Every structure is written in C-alpha cells, then in structure tokens.
C-alpha cells in the first residue's frame, strides 16, 4: 500500500525554498541568476536554504564548495541555517533505498552505457531510455558495484493515481498531472544508486532532501522540468510531500540579446577578479522577478 501523501508540505504560511548547486565546478552566470531568482521569489518573509549536492564523488570538490560559498556572499545571496551537504546524509539515502528494496521497487543493474545502446535503447527526455535488460533481477542478486534502478512501472502501480503538481514558473504555469506512459516510455527506470562508485543519484537525493528540509517551493532551472514527474512519483511512493514547483528560464542566447556578448561559461569569480561590480554583474542577467511567490 502506498503511504499517505500530502499534496503540499506544511508551511505555516511561509515559503521554504532552496538553492542546490553541485560543487563540480565554479558558479557561472546561470547559477547567479538562479540563486537571485530564488531569493527574489522567496521575498523577505521566505526562508531560503542552501544545499550542496555533492553526491557525484568523482566530480565534486571541496574547493568548489568553498568557492561557491564565497561567490554567493559576494552576490548578496543570503541563506538561513546550516548549509546541508548531501555527502553527510548517506545513511538517510541508504534507508530510503532499503525501503524501496523491501517493497520490490528497485533492482540491481550491471549494464554499461555501451550495453544499453547495444540493446537498442531509444532516445527519451533525458537521454537513452533504459531498455529493461536487468529488470527481472531480484535484489538478492545485487553485487557490489551494481547500479540500483527504480522499476517505474511497478512504482506507478504501487503509487496508485499520482497527484497533480502545481507549477508557477513562466514556461509551464498551471497544474500538471504526471503521465504514467511518459514516465515509462520517455524517462524509463532511473538509476538511484550509481554503478561502480555507489554514489546516490540526484533523482533520489533531491526529493529526499526537499522533504527532509521542509521545502515548500522548489525553484530551479527549466532544464530540470522533465525530471519533475519522476520526482513526484518518488515523493508519492515514499510518502513525501509534493512541493510547488517553479522552473525559471535558463540564461541562454534565446532569453535576451543583452547576453549575446558575454561569455556565459565564465566563472563568477573571474568577473569579480576583473573588477566587475555587483551591480554590473546583475545588469548582465535577465531581469529578476519583482514579486515574491504567495506562500
Ligand atoms: N544540483 C542541481 C544542479 O546544480 C540542482 C537541483 C535542483 O535544484 O533540483 O543542477
């Protein structure tokens, strides 16, 4: 039986949101725009949290994490409370995996990328859709170094009807009902624990932490829009609240000619070193929201 899912987290009338960069490189203008958009949409009354999504052990670096904190202070991004660092919470993610395993919702997978493309996988919304080669394998056969994948079809059965989620971002504003066929055919069984490294995947750590931190509003870039129905599925199966979502436009050429002349992949710290002022940097970004979200 699925656990009861609340349609939205308790928020006592206060927005709780977060900026969740991965310390796999320095922050760029796109990150600056995201952080400041989050702060603007939270408004003075909102609670803004900072989370370092450092689950990718091969790419995350302590020095990037330190640089991110410096850059955010320079940007004028203020967070409340302690920074949450995902690598400190491995036990909690393992407990979630154990719970999914007990209910038969994950399976071990030893397929390499080459195996997956050789099996004729089709291109979906997030790259190749896993063709299900290892889906029959029970968890009792899991080997060290196997990936663990969510069995999406079984999770959907387990979840029953998925709740609709609210999106307040400009590109997809409205109420959205996650579509089971899209989840099965165009997303496929996502990795929740990675092959070889055993790293926890974003698609588990992110919804886990949003629930653990009492996040009421997930504000992030439009590149993560396609992950949202999967996160709603995981939230429903785990009994975690489904937050309100807001996907903001990305800082790309298409969003404004003003950005055409600048190097979007340049680290924020380089602008700072070159003497660019805070105001000049803000002027390079698309306009920030002026009205905070309603709690
Ligand atoms: N860590 C993700 C990134 O840097 C953001 C995840 C999120 O906001 O949900 O792209």
Q: Is the CB of 21 under 6 A from ligand 1?
A: yes
Kindly tell me if the per-residue pLDDT of 262 is higher than 90.
no
> What percent of the chain is predicted at pLDDT more than 90?
86
Q: Residue range 244-261: average pLDDT?
A: 69
Of all protein residues, the one whose alpha carbon is nearest to atom 2 of ligand 1 is 21
CA-closest candidate to residue 51, choices 60, 277, 122:
60
Measured from the Cα of 53, ligand 1's closest atom is: 1
Contact 29, 282 (CB under 8 A): no
Kindly tell me if the per-residue pLDDT of 48 is higher than 50.
yes
Q: For 244, phi and psi rounded to 5 degrees?
A: -85, 140
Contact 237, 158 (CB under 8 A): yes
Q: How far apart are CA 154 and CA 53, in angstroms?
A: 28
Q: Is the CB of 213 under 6 A from ligand 1?
A: no
121 CB contacts (<8 Å, ≥6 apart)? Answer: 128, 129, 130, 131
DSSP state at residue 200: B
CA-to-CA dists, residue 15 to 41, 180, 243, angstroms: 9, 29, 10
Question: pLDDT category, 7, cuts 50, 70, 90?
Answer: low
Coil, helix or strand at residue 81: coil
- Among 38, 41, 220, which residue has the most ligand 1 atoms within 8 Å of its CB, making it the best to mutate? 220
Q: Residue range 90-96: average pLDDT?
A: 98
In this predicted structure, what is the pLDDT of residue 1? 37
Question: pLDDT category, 16, cuts 50, 70, 90?
Answer: very high
CATH fit for domain 16-283, picks 3.30.70.260, 3.30.470.20, 3.40.50.620, 2.40.37.10:
3.40.50.620
* Weakest-pLDDT range from 161-165, 227-231, 270-274: 270-274
**Beta-strand (E) ranges in the chain?**
16-19, 47-52, 84-85, 106-109, 123-124, 127-128, 147-150, 165-167, 174-176, 191-193, 217-221, 244-248
259/292: higher pLDDT: 292
Q: How far apart are CA 241 and CA 216, in angstroms?
A: 9
Q: Is the CB of 148 under 6 A from ligand 1?
A: no
In this predicted structure, what is the pLDDT of residue 253? 54
Question: pLDDT category, 9, cuts 50, 70, 90?
Answer: low
266/124: higher pLDDT: 124
Q: What residues does 246 pair with on adjacent strands?
A: 219
Q: Is the CB of 53 under 6 A from ligand 1?
A: yes
Q: Residue range 241-263: average pLDDT?
A: 72
Q: What residues does 18 pair with on adjacent strands?
A: 49
In this predicted structure, what is the pLDDT of residue 10? 58
CA-closest candidate to residue 215, choices 81, 75, 82, 48:
48
The chain-wide mean pLDDT, for the chain, equals 92
Q: How far apart are CA 171 and CA 30, in angstroms?
A: 17
Kindly tell me if the per-residue pLDDT of 186 is higher than 60.
yes
Q: Residue range 223-252: average pLDDT?
A: 96
The reported pTM is 0.93
Residue with tokens 């055993």: 198
Q: Residue range 29-52: average pLDDT?
A: 96
């Amino acid at each position: 039986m699925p656990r009861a899912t609340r349609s939205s987290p308790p928020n006592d009338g206060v927005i709780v949101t977060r900026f969740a960069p991965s310390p796999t490189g320095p922050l760029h203008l796109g990150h600056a725009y995201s952080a400041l958009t989050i702060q603007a949409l939270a408004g003075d009354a909102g609670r803004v949290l900072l989370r370092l999504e450092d689950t990718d052990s091969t790419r995350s670096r302590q020095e990037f994490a330190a640089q991110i904190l410096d850059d955010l202070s320079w940007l004028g991004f203020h967070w409340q409370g302690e920074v949450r660092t995902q690598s400190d919470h491995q036990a909690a993610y393992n407990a979630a995996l154990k719970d999914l395993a007990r209910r038969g919702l994950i399976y071990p997978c030893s397929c390499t990328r080459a195996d997956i493309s050789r099996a004729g996988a089709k291109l979906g919304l997030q790259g190749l859709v896993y063709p299900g080669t290892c889906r029959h394998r029970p968890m009792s056969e899991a080997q060290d170094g196997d990936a663990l994948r969510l069995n999406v079809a079984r999770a959907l059965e387990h979840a029953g009807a998925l709740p609709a989620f609210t999106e307040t971002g400009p590109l997809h504003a409205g109420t959205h009902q996650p579509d089971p066929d899209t989840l099965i055919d165009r997303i496929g069984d996502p990795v929740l624990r990675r092959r070889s490294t055993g790293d926890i995947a974003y698609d588990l750590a992110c919804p886990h932490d949003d629930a653990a931190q009492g996040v009421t509003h997930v504000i992030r870039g439009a590149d993560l829009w396609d992950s949202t129905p999967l996160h709603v599925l995981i939230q429903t199966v785990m009994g975690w609240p489904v937050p309100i979502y807001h996907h903001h436009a990305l800082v790309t050429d298409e969003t404004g000619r003003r950005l055409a002349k600048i190097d979007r992949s340049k680290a924020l710290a380089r602008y700072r070193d070159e003497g660019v002022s805070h105001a000049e940097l803000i002027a390079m970004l698309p306009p920030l929201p002026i009205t905070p979200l309603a709690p």
